[in-house]
Structure 1
Amino acid sequence: MADQNYSMVSEFFLEGFSTFPQHLLHSFFLLFLLMYLFMLLGNLLIMTTVWREHSLHTPMYLFLCALSTSEILFTVTVTPRMLVDMLSTHHTITWAACASQLFFFFTFGFTHSFLLMIMGYDRYVAICHPLRYHVLMSNRGCARLVSWSWTGGSIMGMMVTLIVFHLNFCGSNVIHHFACHVFSLLKLACGKETASVSLGVILVCVSALMGCLFLIVLSYVFIVAAILRIPSAEGRHKTFSTCVSHLTVVIVHYGFASIIYLKPRGPHSMDSNTLMATTYTVFTPFLSPIIFSLRNKELKNAIKKSFQRKLSPLSS
């Protein structure tokens, strides 16, 4: 009966950056816009290079293209909304649009984690079972792994979205975020089921993400054990160098995610929470193409060759 005293929410107000000083918003807008454009160009460059260079038509680079696609789609669903929020005075979003945003956010987030896990498995097979690599990582098998990652991410995204929007939202409609963030949404829900749903969402997210992280760590335990058995220091360094870019992206991905989801529940201001959220939604996709381009020698040489071929007709 108490719930009937509230009016049901049909749209939400995204507080976002509205509390920030106006002179800072223009600087933030320019910074995040440049990072967003760089992320798009960097990932498109990686995908184009892999597509054109036949020497890169291997499982590792197939997974890298899938990861770049996930990065692009992830930021496209969040960053433009954030940029508009910085300059616009209209911050409302409908119930349906909020649900769609949450679905895509979780789908691409989970897919990203699944792909990182598969890339760890690829490195494990290449180093620990090199003679069986082409059998275990066939083209059909790799395509199936990528399909499973996208399917699993979509199922997880749909499941979390249905769980959250099964709740009733009443009373305040102010989301203290620049997007439809799940924990900000749960704070607006009403009814006896809210606490159990919040716990369920946390368990689903933590189980999936920590499960992926556990399998990645397990892969690297076997990888390190195999590398230590290599007699020469040069051989150990050469073998481990094939894992550096992937391992760095994993550390960045889970490191920035932990800043948001595992930070102490202290007296943080809304402004600091908003800025911390940008580390995962902007900085992680921004750093990924840089890490893979600079730390992967084979990819870096392929990009150089591609540019040299384009510049040679101009110089002649």
Structure 2
Amino acid sequence: MSNVTGIKENETSTDFVLLGLFPRFGHPSLLVLIILLLYTSAFAGNSTLLLLIWLDPRLHAPMYFLLSQLSVIDLAYISSTVPKMLANHFSGKRSISFLACAAQMFAFLTLGLAECILLTLMAYDRYVAVCNPLRYTVLMSPKVCLQMAASAWAGGALAALVHTVYPMHFPICGSREINHYFCEMPAILRMSCVDTSIYEMTVVSIICIVFVLLPLGFIVSSYILIFLTVLRMNSPEGRRKALATCSSHLAVVSLYYGPALVIYMTPQSAHTAEQDQGLSMINTIFTPLLNPLIYSLRNKDVLTALRKVVGRRGTLKWT
């Protein structure tokens, strides 16, 4: 009798059910433990990078201001999905309300699209620094940097609003189980009982062109010009420093855009839900984890700031 009642409640409820990360995996507790460790490491890494940029005056430069915005996005990005997944696992409840699902999708898309814009602006910053250094202070003034950050957040939020409101209005037939660990747009579209191909071909394609292909083309063009300029440099030290900074940014771009191209620029029928989950893990978990490592390990200024903070704490401890 209770099972029948539960089925009826599920049929009439507007709540969704998150099946979690790789629901067929035989050791879910081990997987959750690994995710918790990765989340803690990503949170600590980005928080440390933000603290260093705030404390060290030598890091009060346009490049590091944009990098601090990237760390803020990464902190919010990983926090928009992982805590809910962990809470569901430890509580044993996998449901998420319609409004909470829409809010999670909006937050995830806002942060993801804002990161697309920010990575493009960071490429522009490197282009100006290497190819037009005499005008760097003018082209990358504090006011311009603030405008860049505001445009990234605003652009991401506006596009995310469209991509949240429209898909959530598609009627859903049958099970409301989402084969994912968070409310992602492709997973919601798969549940719709109407044909969403027109939406995917128009709205989704336009957004992907504006926020993925065009920024990626701009980034590639910027780095072609940067590398041509670097090849003409007479100073080996200047060439090495420029390449080290640019290679860090290129690594982050590759790590972020690779999975996004597969998930959003290919038909949904071309990849399974499990493949989407794996690719989403790269964007939502591994990218926020690796970004501070990529930028800090190959950046002497950040490493110097870290040594100063650690040395200062050690001195205070001994005194």
Same fold (TM over 0.5): yes
User: What corresponds to 1:199 in structure 2?
Assistant: 201
Counterparts of 1:205 and 1:266, CA distance in 2: 19
Q: 2:139 aligns with which of 112, 136, 139?
A: 136
1:157 equivalent in structure 2: 160
Cα distance change on mapping 1:104 and 1:265 into 2, 3 Å: closer
Partner of 2:15: 11
Which residue pairs with 1:121 in the alignment? 124
1-structure distance, mates of 2:202, 2:102:
18
**Offset, 1:311:** 0.9
The equivalent of 1:56 in structure 2 is 59
| 1:270/1:163 CA distance change after superposition, 3 Å | closer
Query: Matched residue of 1:42: which SS?
Result: helix
Amino acid at match of 1:286: L
Amino acid in structure 1 at the alignment position of 2:311: Q
Alpha-carbon offset, residue 183 of structure 1: 0.9
User: Partners in 2 of 1:84 and 1:50 — Cα distance?
Assistant: 32
Q: Number of matched residues?
A: 308
> Does structure 1 residue 309 correspond to structure 2 residue 312?
yes
Cα distance change, pair 314–140 in 1 and its aligned pair in 2 (3 A): same
| Residue 270 (structure 1) shift | 4.9
In the alignment, does 2:300 pair up with 1:297? yes
| Shift of residue 102, structure 1, vs aligned partner | 0.6
In 2: Cα distance, 1:196 partner to 1:33 partner: 39
Pair 98,60 (structure 1): closer, same or farther in 2 beyond 3 Å:
same
Distance (Å, rounded) in 2 between the aligned partners of 1:126 and 1:69: 23
Secondary structure, counterpart of 1:190 in structure 2: coil
Match for residue 109 of structure 2? 106
Letter in 2 for 1:195: S
Identity of aligned residues (%): 35
User: Retained in 2: the 8 A contact 1:14–1:177?
Assistant: yes
For the Cα contact (< 8 Å) 1:17–1:85, is it kept in 2? no
Consecutive unaligned residues in structure 2, runs of 5 or more? 1-10
Please name the residue that 2:31 is paired with.
28
1:37 is aligned with what amino acid? T
Q: What are structure 1's unaligned runs of at least 5 residues?
A: 1-6
| TM-score under structure 1 length normalisation | 0.90
Equivalent residue number for residue 96 of structure 2: 93
Which whole-Å CA distance do the structure 2 matches of 1:128 and 1:170 have between them? 55
Does residue 220 (structure 1) correspond to residue 219 (structure 2)? The answer is no
Calculate the aligned-residue CA RMSD, in Å. Answer: 2.2
Q: Structure 1 residues 18, 86: CA separation in 2 closer, same or farther (over 3 Å shift)? A: farther
Deviation at 1:306, TM superposition (A): 1.0
Aligned-residue offset at 1:259:
5.1
Q: CA deviation at 1:231?
A: 2.6
CA contact (8 A) 1:107 1:153 kept: yes
Q: Which residue of 1 aligns with 2:7?
A: none
Q: In 2, distance between residues paired with 1:91 and 1:312?
A: 48
Take 2:77 and 2:61, find their aligned partners in 1: how far apart are those partners?
Answer: 24
User: How does the TM-score come out when normalised to structure 2?
Assistant: 0.89
Structure 1 residues 192-212: Cα deviation after superposition (integer angstroms, max 9, x where no partner): 5x2212323431342111111
Q: Distance in 2 between matches of 1:269 and 1:217?
A: 30
Query: Contact 1:128–1:222 at 8 Å: present in 2 too?
Result: yes
